[in-house]
Structure 1
Amino acid sequence: MRTLTGVSPPFDFLPLSVVSFGSTVIAEGCDVASSISWIHAWTVSHGIITQVREYSNTSLTVTRVGDVVAGRSAEIAPSHCPSVWESQFSGRAGKSVPGLVLAI
């Protein structure tokens, strides 16, 4: 919050990886000192970012809840939600962080 309000100096966002899964783009990185990790999850529609989620100092696992076949979403068994991406940087900071699951 202090960075957003201008009370403290901003930190540089250094992306370490960028991956996409359909309309979802995941970018992961850290600050210069590697003390803050971040993950951005963008939803893109027709080349425009329509939604942004930001996670700081959090481990994120992305799972696929359904398959898309010929442009249509098909349901799959709830017990089968494969992990398609897991954050890598959060564990490098040497501290325990909360974990979240993002279902796409």
Structure 2
Amino acid sequence: MEGLNKNIVCDLYKSLAARDTATVHRLLAPDIDWWFHGPPAHKFNLMQLLSGGCACNDTNSFNPLSIVAIGSLVVAEGYHIHESGKNHWVHAWTVENGKIITEVKEYLNTSVTVARCRKSDNICITSPRSPKFKNMWHSELTHNASIPRLLLVL
């Protein structure tokens, strides 16, 4: 299933680059749940592109350098160079049944670590250093950057 989920997200990015709005809309749930973490000035960049509300000339703004599937979650990472600098982004897509994207969590200029937490005796371990946590993925492009760091727990 992870392979199918990754393929769906890869197809989405290819469709965005090709400005194929019909395919983009076919791959996204009509009521997609979107969550954003980053500078407010960039809050709607991805959502405008997904909804067709942006006539962006730079379709490579969201060209992923890596895409990894972890169950129903597919994480993509890349960056966008613009006139005032460089923005690092991470998108965490939720794919339902290997068919449609139902959720996206967008992180801009934020380092993200994805971890799985095992529950024990109905107690969720709160320390990421606990042996109950298993790191599944982490941002590669932000190691030396002074930016917020977030833990996305599955």
TM over 0.5: yes
- Residue segments in structure 1 that go unaligned for 5+ positions in a row: 67-74
Aligned to 1:88: 140
CA distance in 2, matches of 1:52, 1:97: 21
Letter of the 1:65 counterpart: C
Partner of residue 109 from structure 2, selected from 37, 57, 63: 57
The residue number in structure 2 matching 1:97 is 147
TM-score by length of 1: 0.74
Encode CA deviations 1:34-63: one digit per residue, 9 max, x unaligned: 711000001111211011100000000000
Q: Deviations over 1:72-92 (max 9, x none)?
A: xxx34723111111101123x
The 1-side partners of 2:69 and 2:57 are apart by 31
Equivalent residue for 1:72? none
Partner of 1:35: 86
Match of 2:68 in 1: 19
TM-score (norm. length: structure 2): 0.52
Distance across 2 between alignment mates of 1:95 and 1:60: 12
1:38 partner amino acid: W
Residue 14 of structure 1 and its aligned partner are, at CA, apart by 2.1
**Partner residue, 1:70:** none
Q: How many pairs are equivalent?
A: 93
Report SS of the residue matched to 1:12: helix
What secondary structure, in the 3-state scheme, does the structure 2 residue paired with 1:52 have? Answer: strand
Kindly report the root-mean-square deviation, in angstroms, between the aligned alpha carbons of the 2 structures.
Answer: 2.6
Q: Percent identity?
A: 39
Shift, 1:95, TM fit? 3.4
> How far 1:9 sits from its partner (Å)?
6.8
Report the Cα distance in structure 1 between the residues aligned to 2:72 and 2:136, rounded to whole angstroms. Answer: 14
- SS class of match (2:133): coil
Distance 2:112 2:149 in 1: 6
Cα drift, residue 32 of structure 1:
3.8
More strand by share: 1
Work out whether residues 14 and 32 of structure 1, in 8 Å CA contact, stay in contact via their aligned partners in 2. no
